[in-house]
């Protein structure tokens, strides 16, 4: 992977917190920040996908969910005690 040097300014307190956690995780600062940014980008992508898929299950196609997914799952599990 090609790398580009970028200057970023952080508040002192945040740097101190990152240093503590990155030392505990045995990571250097750069790897810690790169992992944090990757995780944040994944979270944003996941949130967008969930928002776009909202309403994909309509009640005409899935009438069993008219009382909600929790009720459906409880009904499926009824009588199956281990």
Band of pLDDT at residue 82, cut at 50, 70 and 90: low
State the Cα–Cα distance between residues 38 and 32, nearest whole angstrom: 10
> pTM value?
0.59
Report the SS3 class of residue 77: helix
Residue-level length of the chain = 82
Q: What is the per-residue pLDDT across 26-36, written as a single tens digit (0 to 9) for each?
A: 999 999 999 99
Residue range 17-73, pLDDT digits in tens: 999 999 999 999 999 999 999 999 999 999 888 888 877 777 888 888 888 889 888
For residues 29 and 18, the answer to whether their CB atoms sit within 8 Å is yes
CA distance 4 to 12: 23
């Amino acid at each position: 992977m090609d790398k580009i040097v970028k200057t970023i300014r952080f508040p002192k307190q945040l740097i101190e917190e990152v240093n503590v956690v990155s030392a505990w995780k045995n990571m250097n600062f750069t790897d810690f920040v790169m992992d944090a940014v990757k995780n944040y980008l994944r979270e944003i992508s996941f949130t967008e996908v969930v928002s776009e898929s909202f309403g994909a299950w309509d009640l005409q196609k899935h009438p069993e969910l008219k009382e909600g997914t929790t009720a459906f799952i409880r009904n499926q599990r009824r009588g199956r005690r281990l």
